[in-house]
Chains A and B, each alone.
Chain A
Amino acid sequence: MTTLTAKDKDAVRTFWAKVSGKEEDIGTDAVARMLAVYPQTKTYFSHWKDLSPSSPSARKHGITVMKGVADAVSKIDDLKGGLLTLSELHAFTLRVDPANFKILSHCLLVVLSIKFPNDFTPEAHVALDKFLAAVALALAEKYR
C-alpha cells in the first residue's frame, strides 16, 4: 500500500512506548485469538502437540511474533532492509500465505484495543494498521 509518513512513524513509536513491558501478554493473546477466531491458521502448526489457544507452544509463539513486531518498530525507517532475514524465513522455510499476516494484524489490533482503550484512538489505529500492513509487505518481499 502506501509508505509511512513521519506522522505515522511518530504515532507508532509513541504508542509503542506505552506498550513497553506488556509485549509478552499482547503477543500471546494475539496468537491465541488468531487460533480461536481463524481456525484455518492452525494448519501451520500441525507439528505442535497442543494446538489450543492457551497451550505452551501458542504462548511461546506469541512471544516470538511480538519480538519480531517490536524489532520492526525499531527498524521503521527501513522495514524492507531491516526485515530481510525474517522475510527469507517466511518465504523459503515457513511459506505462510501472506493473507494470514492480515489476520494476525487484526488480532493484534483487537488486543491493543482491549488493553489500551483510551490510547488506541482512531488516529493511533490508522497509524498502526498502516504500520502492520507495511510489516506484512516487508515480510512478503522475498516470496517471489
Chain B
Amino acid sequence: MVEWTDFERATIADIFSKMQYEVVGPAALARCLIVYPWTQRYFGNFGNLYNAAAISGNPMVAKHGTTILHGLDRAVKNMDDIKATYTELSVLHSEKLHVDPDNFKLLSDCLTIVVAAQLGNDFTGEVQAAFQKFLAVVVSSLGRQYH
C-alpha cells in the first residue's frame, strides 16, 4: 500500500483539478514522440509523424494524448488503490498493445515537463516530488501485469 501524505493528496488533486486535459495531454504525448522518437513505433497508423511540426499538429496524437490523461484521472480518483485500478489497463498494454514498460517512464518525464511549464513557479520542488511520486506509482502499476 502506498502511503500518501496530506500534502501529496492535496497537491495531486489540485494539479489535476486545474488541468486542461485537452491541452496538457496532447502536448505531453507530442513531446514524447519528438524527444524520444523510438516511441513512434506504437503509432504506425497515426499518419504523418515525420517532423516535430507534423507531430504537434497531428489530430490523432492530440486525441490519444487526451485519452491518456483521462486514464490518469482514474488514478487521481483512486489514489489508495492505483494497483487494482490499473490491472486491466496493464493487461491491455502488455497483451494487446505490447508496449515496452520503459516507455511509461519516458512519457511520465515529458508530462512532468509540460506540467512544470504550465504551473511555472508554483511547481516547486515539493510539488514536483509529489507529482513524480504519483506518476511513479502509476508507471509501476501499469507494468505490473506484464509477464
Contact = CB atoms under 8 A, between A and B. Distances in A.
Interface of A: 29, 32-33, 35-37, 53, 106, 109-110, 113-114, 117, 120-123, 125-126, 129
B54 to A, nearest CB: 12
B56 A122 contact: yes
Contacts of A109: 113
Interface in B105-136: 109, 112-114, 116-121, 123, 125-126, 128-129, 132
Contacts of B34: 122-123, 125-126
A126 B132 CA distance: 20
B31 interface: yes
A10 B132 CA distance: 31
Contact of B113 (A53, A123, A125): A125
Chain A contact residues, majority secondary structure: helix
Contacts of A35: 125
Nearest to A123: B52
Contacts of A37: 125, 128-129, 132
Contact of B120 (A33, A53, A117, A126): A117
Contacts of A120: 113, 117
B10 interface: no
A40 to B, nearest CB: 12
Given A122-B30, A125-B113, A36 B129 contact: yes
